[in-house]
Each structure stands twice: as C-alpha cells, then as structure tokens.
Amino acid sequence: MNKKRAVILNTIIIFSFFAIFVRLADLMILNHKHFSEKAKMQYTKAEDIRVRRGIVFDRWGRELALNLELESLYCDPENLDLDDDNIKKLASVIAKKSDVLRAKIPDEGRFAWIARKLEPETAKMIKELHIQGLGFQTEAKRFYPGGRLASHILGFVDLDNQALEGIELKYDKYLKTGGGKVFFVRDAGGRTLSSGVDTEAKGNNIVLTIDQGLQYIVEKEIEKAISKWNAASASAIMIDPLTGEILALANRPAYDPNYPGKVTGFEKRNRAITDCYEPGSTFKVVIGLGSLEEKIVKPDTLFDVSKGGINVGGKTIRDVHRYSVLQFKEVIQKSSNVGSIMIGMQLGPERLYKYAKLLGFGEKTGIDLPGEISGWIRPPERWSGTSLGAIPIGQEVAVTPLQVLRAYTTVANGGFLVRPHIVSEIISPDGKVLFSFGEKDKKRVISQATAETFKDILKGVVDEGGTGKRASVNGNEVAGKTGTAQLIDPRTKRYSKEKFVSSFVGFVPADNPKLAIIVVVHEPKGQNYGGVVAAPVFKEIAEQALSYLNIPREDDHYQTSLVVSR
C-alpha cells in the first residue's frame, strides 16, 4: 500500500514539474515577446512630447506670433460624476448646450476632451464646480498679438497647432520640430521613477523682413481707401528694391488669425500673390524698358498720336485724352495708349514677349509664402490679331501685384531682378542661426543705362502734367506709374464700363530708392483712374514711411549760423 502511494505521489510530482516546465517554455520561449511587452506596459508610462511652436518676430525682434499656456478640460468617463444639475452648470460655464456637452462624453473609456484651450477665467469657474472625474491639461495656444495686423503674412494654425496658412504653413517644419513620445519607469503604485527627461520640444524661431510699424501704416491707409471708395478689395506691398526684402504686405478685407473660424476664404485670401488681374498701364514698363534697351527709341523720339486712336486687327483703341505729337517720355508720362501701341509694334511680338519674361511676368516670383500663382502671358505664336494692340497697354495678360512691383524694382535698383522674400533668418532655440537669406538670386536683366533713363521718365509721371501727380511726396522725388484697367463682365464676357482696377506703383526717393510700393484697389466706386484712387494712397504711405524710417527730405537745406556773444 505504501508502495502504491509512493508511485502516485511521484507521478503527481513528475506531472507537476512537467506542467511547470511546459508553462515556463510557453512564457520564456513561445510567448516571450508578448508577455515581455505586457510587463513593459505595466512598469512604463508613455507621454506625448509637447511641441511648442517657435516664435515669429518682425525685423526688429517684435513678437508677431507666440504661444500662450492655457488649460484644456477633459473627463474620465468611468469616474465622472455628472448629473443633470452638474451638466447644466458646466454647460453654462463653457457656453454650450447641455445635449452638446453630453455628446462629448463617451459611455466607456478613461479619457475624452470636453473643451480645449480655455480662457483662464473659464477654467477657474469650472474648478470651482468641484465635479468628480474632470481634469485639466496644459496646452499651448498660438496667439497673434497684433490681431488682424499682418494676418495674410502670418497665417494661422488649428486647435491642434497644425499649420494651415501663411508663414505658419510655409515654415511649419522649422517652427514645429521634435514630437513623438517619451517613456517613464514607474513603480507598482504608478509613481514615476525616472527624472530629468525632457517632455517638451521647442521649435525654431523665425525673423521676418517685415517691419511692424510699416505694416501698420500700409494697413491703415488701404483700410481708409476701401472705405473712401467703397471698393471690393485692395492690396498693397512695400519692398526694399535693392534686396527684395518685403517690408509690408497687406490686403483688405483681412481677418484675425486668433479666430480664423469666424471668417470665410474671401477674407483669408492673400490677394497680393494669389489673385490675377489685367494691369493696364503699369504694364507699359515692358515696352518702355524693351524699346530703350533695343535702342528703338530715345526719350525725345516723336510719335504722332493726333488721330486719337489706332486700329489693330479690326479693333480701334483710343486714348482717354487726345494729344498731337508726343515724345517717347511723354507717351509714358501721359500714359498714351496709342503711343504705347506704336512702340509695341516697333518692338514686335518676339521682343515684347522676351522683355515681359525678363521682368518676371508669367512666372512665380519665388516669394516664401504659400499659394503664389504665376499669372500668364501667352507666347507670340498664340497671339490673336488684336494682341499686339492689347498687350503693350496691359490687356490679354494676367499679373499679381507682387509681379508688377518686382518689375519696377528693376528700374529702381539699376537693372536687377530681385527675389522677393519675407523670412530673414531662422534661429534655433539655443540661438544658432540655421538660415540667413542672401542675394544669390539677384540677376541683371536690364542695363544700368536703360534703367536710369526710364527712371527719369517715370519721374515725369508724378510731375505736373503726368497722370500720377497725386502721388508726389513732400520733400522727396517719386518715380512711378499709374494703371487703370477694366474688368471683364462675367455676364457679357466683355470689358465692363463700370468695374475697374485702379493702381499705382513707384519708388522713393527716386534717385536713391529706399522703398518701392504698389497699391491696387479693386472696383472703386465713384472714380476709377489709378492717378485719382491709388496714387494718393501711395503718397500717404510713402510720406509716413519715410518719416518713420527717418529718411531725410531731399529738399532740406541746412544753414550754419555764427552766434557771437558780447
């Protein structure tokens, strides 16, 4: 009997060891990876690395886009004590309906957002409700201290700080670096044992070429123009003609990037680079520079425009005012369409197209903002019978305000085509310069002699007798050009007699240019000429900008007086 018991006992022991061996084999060999990962999850904790977008500064270090630390409200659905009374109280504080609030809370799970990035006062009121199962997590909210100021330059981000427009989008990979997760070791009670782990990634800072003061001046003046002329929209750009640095860029209507959801795409469009228009007489820079460069004309070359019109391809194009015989410089000064077409005919389709392309028309400028379009000018083989009468005066072409401005900087800087840009430097969180814009893209397209000659002609546009005399600046000489273009009526597919685009583009001081500015006003009411609508806006912007920058008046004369005391 004892022997039988011993056999049974030994069998049980052997079987038990076999079972343990099988289980160990299962744990250590067959399912080792699975149980290892499960154990790791029990003693480690994963947290997202919070990414703080870099700060955007103007050229003088003034903050244009930064981060605010705000609290976001979440709940633990399994531990949430939210009866009807608490629902009503919470809904009242966060300005939501009770049923909308209930819909945000799932039936199960341990985490759900209720309200993101609350105002400090709102967060304080919620905490005072003492509702079990609610919690707060600190998040960064993008903040634009200037409100609408420079909104089309800066762009905006969404609730999760994902870039959607402007500099925020174009330089997103620099402004938002790092990310991912970090893992902590914790004990059985869930307490973190690791320390010294960085849970926050800081993006690079960006310095713009924009001057906040000049930006304010430009925005203020086009806002006044919109109001005065009851216009549909307007754009204005200010650039350093020597370097291509954008000093200010503005559109109206505008929007507050702190609340982008409150406006439509109409207000968000950066019209200065995304909208095309027929430029009208500002496009005469092409026939002006081209004919001088090809030595077809001199400033005093005569053109008989006494008929008041010219027929091209069966279509008669007329001047607004009738003239007799004009010198080449007067054709530009008085913006004679007839004279301009005569010059275009002498230049010919191939050379006319060549100089339009040399000045950057029909191509993107390469500005570092999203959404830029190229516009268009058809090659000569695709021209119609009337194209040689239309293109010299700025019809049958599509341009952006920035393209026109860049063409005129070529005159201002002695013949170089610059690349407009809006970012000056990218700086790492530890102060290292990662990127600095150079002038490597600057190239000569027109001879200096041609540029200087045409500059003198553009001065005449702003003198008495020129179409742009309302753009004259007290104390400084201006060189520039007016533009008045009819819009196509979508119903008739013909040029409208009521809707126009009025513009003025120029630079100042004319002989030592510091600023080049374009003003474009769409569909002004009551007047339509660029010299009446846009030129005065140029004048106001230029005078205030020159004063702001402490650029001396050219007509200042300093006298020294000798004072003798007795």
Q: What is the full DSSP assignment across 388-452?
A: HHHGGGT-SEEB-HHHHHHHHHHHHTTSEE---B-EEEEE-TTS-EEEE--STT-EE-S-HHHHH
What gap in Å lies between CA 197 and CA 191, rounded to an integer? 15
Options 281, 336, 340, 387, the catalytic residue = 281
CB atoms near residue 175 (< 10 Å): 26
Side-chain half-sphere of 460: how many Cα atoms within 13 Å?
Answer: 16
CB 200 within 8 A of CB 48: no
Q: Which residues pair with 326 in a beta bridge?
A: 303
The CA distance from 484 to 278, in Å, is: 9
**90, 105 in Cβ contact below 8 A?**
no
Do residues 469 and 489 lie in contact, with contact meaning Cβ atoms separated by under 8 Å?
A: no
Residue 139: CB atoms within 10 Å: 18
Q: Is 281 a catalytic residue?
A: yes
Backbone φ and ψ of 557, nearest 5°: -125, 125
Could you give the angle at the alpha carbon of 553 between the alpha carbons of 551 and 557, nearest 5°?
130
Cβ within 8 Å of residue 324, ≥6 positions away: 304, 305, 306
**Identity of the amino acid at 563:** V
Say if residues 335 and 285 touch (Cβ distance below 8 Å): no
Q: How far apart are CA 98 and CA 110, in angstroms?
A: 21
- Active centre residues (catalytic): 281
